[in-house]
Chains A and B, each alone.
Chain A
Amino acid sequence: MKFISDIVDGISLGSIYALIALGYTMVYGIAKMLNFAHGDIIMVGGYAAFITLSANWCPMWLSLVITVTVCTLLGIIIEKLAYRPLRSSPPLAVLITAIGVSYLLQNIALLTQSANPRMFTSIVNGVPPFLQVFKGRGAVFFKENPYKAEGIKSDLTISTETFLAIIVSVIIMVALSLFINKTKAGKAMLACSEDRGAAQLMGINVNGTITLTFAIGSALAAVAAVLMCSSYPLLTPSTGSMPGIKAFVAAVFGGIGSIPGAMIGGVLLGIIEILAKAYISTQLSDAIVFLVLIIVLIVKPTGIMGRKINEKV
């Protein structure tokens, strides 16, 4: 039972990583840059959600809308101000700028929100667990423990937060796949990621496509922020950096630039992390995650779904 619960937790955490990794991988695929400020957009999303959720005037749906809007606009603004002027600069200049943006966001948060951690209230606070299984007595969904009076504890509990993270991520990933493979704007993104110059010759506005990519990636980060803070409620100005780096690992693990790769990489990484925590060592779990990255890079440098670039002459 514990193993099942660990796997579900891993999938849930992994779904959140996958949402973040999608932002990394899409931006890498289309703008050919690593946006190391991506993790900090999650942090901004966390504070946006925290502030609006704690305000009395703001209903939860509006708080979610505001969080997604704030992150989307932030992504677009960062791209316009910091990255666009460097479009034809060497990759190193862009990379360093991205790191600079990351520190800028963290320090703005430090100045305005202080270093004191905030306790994030889950968006499904007060909702009973999604599933509780009692050996020999069956399972209950979305109900308080019916055997509490008898002193019986559930043998397997899946919290609503865990369930929500998986469901929301699956819906978003299906929607994103449909958008990319079925719509004109999505096809334009694929074309830009393969050959920017040729895409321009088709009449595709490359700058517009890059802006759209940043907008989508940042919106996904906002959703990830709310899901993550609901499950892991401690919010500080550096909240985004570790999940950001792990999602980057997930993107590389899956094959950077590949959208299905980011999804698979994210989920696998989440499972590895939770299993490492449960069965090896809590302290070493992060080290194990990065060890996985090193092994992947040695064995298959292009990642699970990464493709070699074949050029036909």
Chain B
Amino acid sequence: MSMLEIKDLEVYYGAINALKGITFSVEQGEIIALIGANGAGKTTTLHTISGLIPAKRGSVMFNGKELMKTPAHKIVSMGMAQVPEGRRVFAQLSVLENLTLGAYTRKDKRGISETLERVYEYFPRLKERRTQLAGTLSGGEQQMLAMGRALMSKPSIILMDEPSMGLSPLYVNEIFKIIEEINKNGTTVLLVEQNAKKALSIANRAYVLETGSISLSGDAHELMDNEQVKKAYLGE
């Protein structure tokens, strides 16, 4: 059984068919990249898995449990966290308050402070700035905060939506290094990216999403050499 199994997922925004029945799976311990152009349905896929958007048809099985009828706020405590597109940190709250909200569903105080130390190890910058308002952080720091906040729930799988968006190349490299590190420490990663090159370089497997359907899938390194992918997404 896969950790996360998406089957024939169909999503509509009014009359617009955003996802036309996509099927894919994520195994425990993997980094899976979901790449595709703007408007292909990448964010919609993540939001549907997290329960923010209702699906019309299909199923999302997480560790053998159906998520389609589960309200969004209950999915977090099942072990799934999302780093949303555009960071969406709570700008008026401090860095520490943001991180504490990430552990909202947890009750074990000692466990929470252990995870907090862990997050500070990944992102020493956040520790330095813990009393600062999140809105005053730079884009890269906010991305780190959004990732740290998601890790605070101690998820078994973390969904990341465009973590490289709007960041300087230096930050992009740092963020991707940390994603690999998070994965090595046992968290499965489902990564949505427009930066296909970067995403494929750290992923085990990848799916290519095109206007609501999966057009290609396979081993990430093989996809990197695929002529179609090269032309459409790698700019070669």
Chain A residues packing against B (C-beta within 8 Å) = 184, 187-188, 190-191, 194-195, 197-206, 307, 310, 312-313
Contacts and interface: CB of A to CB of B under 8 A. Distances in A.
Contacts, number: 74
Contacts of B77: 203
A180 B111 CA distance: 24
A204 B103 CA distance: 10
Contact of A187 (B50, B75, B93, B137): B93
Given A201-B50, A203-B153, A312-B135, A190 B82 contact: no
A194 B84 contact: no
Interface residues of B, number: 35
Interface in B71-88: 71-77, 81-82, 84, 86, 88
14 contacts: A187-B93, A190-B92, A190-B93, A191-B90, A191-B93, A198-B84, A198-B88, A200-B52, A200-B72, A201-B52, A201-B76, A203-B75, A203-B77, A313-B139
B97 interface: yes
Given A191-B93, A197-B52, A313-B166, A203 B88 contact: no
A203 B105 contact: yes
A313 B88 CA distance: 10
B232 interface: no
Closest 9 CB pairs of A and B: A203-B76, A203-B105, A198-B88, A200-B72, A205-B73, A202-B104, A203-B104, A194-B90, A202-B101
A202 B88 contact: no
B102 interface: yes
B215 to A, nearest CB: 28
Nearest to B52: A197
Contacts of B88: 195, 197-198, 201
Contacts of A310: 91, 135
A206 B51 CA distance: 13
Contact of B82 (A201, A206, A313): A201
B90 A198 contact: yes
Contacts of B91: 194, 310, 312
Interface of B: 50-52, 71-77, 81-82, 84, 86, 88-93, 97, 100-102, 104-105, 135, 137-139, 142, 149-150, 153, 166
Contacts of B139: 312-313
Given A194-B93, A201-B81, 8 more contacts: A187-B97, A188-B101, A190-B92, A191-B90, A197-B84, A198-B89, A307-B92, A313-B166
B73 A203 contact: yes
B92 A202 contact: no
B104 A188 contact: yes
B133 to A, nearest CB: 10
B72 A187 contact: no
B104 A194 contact: no
Contact of B102 (A184, A197, A202, A205): A202
B135 A200 contact: no
A307 to B, nearest CB: 8
A49 to B, nearest CB: 37
A8 B72 CA distance: 49
Given A187-B101, A312-B142, A201 B84 contact: yes
B115 to A, nearest CB: 14
A194 B76 contact: no
Contacts of B86: 313
A310 B142 CA distance: 14
Contact of A202 (B51, B138, B142, B149): B149
